[in-house]
């Protein structure tokens, strides 16, 4: 696992270095504005895509936060919260009181 994580890190470093080499040709004075414009547009588009893909987790987080609320006006019952469970996850193996998972006896 350690070698896999290190290989992903080195792959990202390689992509960053390749991007730096590709952008070094436009790092001259008249083209500098367009280089930073392109990078900022790409970052903005990536941010929008990220938000579109993961915005539903905000609603789930708000519901989970409301469970801990002591205010009876905003607290909701735990049964009303929908959480996604991985298909290989077995809820009967989880000890809710201890917050740990173990083997079923």
Q: Which of 65, 19, 53 is nearest to 27 (CA)?
A: 19
- Strand, coil or helix: 44: helix
Domain locations in the chain?
19-68
**Inter-CA distances, 72 with 27, 59, 69, 78, Å:** 59, 19, 8, 13
Q: What is the pTM assigned to this prediction?
A: 0.45
Tens place of pLDDT per residue across the chain (105 aa):
899 999 999 999 999 999 889 888 878 888 788 888 988 999 999 999 999 998 888 878 877 777 666 666 665 666 666 665 555 555 555 555 555 555 554
Nearest-5° angle of CA 60, CA 66, CA 69? 160
Cα-trace Rg, the chain: 23
């Amino acid at each position: 696992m350690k070698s896999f994580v290190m290989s992903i890190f080195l792959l990202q470093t390689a992509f960053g270095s390749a991007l730096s080499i590709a952008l070094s040709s436009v790092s001259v004075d008249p083209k500098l504005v367009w280089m930073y414009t392109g990078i900022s547009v790409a970052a903005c588009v990536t941010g929008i895509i990220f938000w579109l893909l993961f915005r539903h987790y905000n609603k789930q987080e708000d519901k989970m936060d409301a469970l801990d609320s002591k205010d009876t006006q905003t607290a909701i019952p735990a049964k009303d919260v929908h959480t996604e469970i991985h298909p290989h996850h077995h809820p009967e193996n989880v000890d809710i009181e201890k917050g740990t998972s173990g083997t079923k006896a």
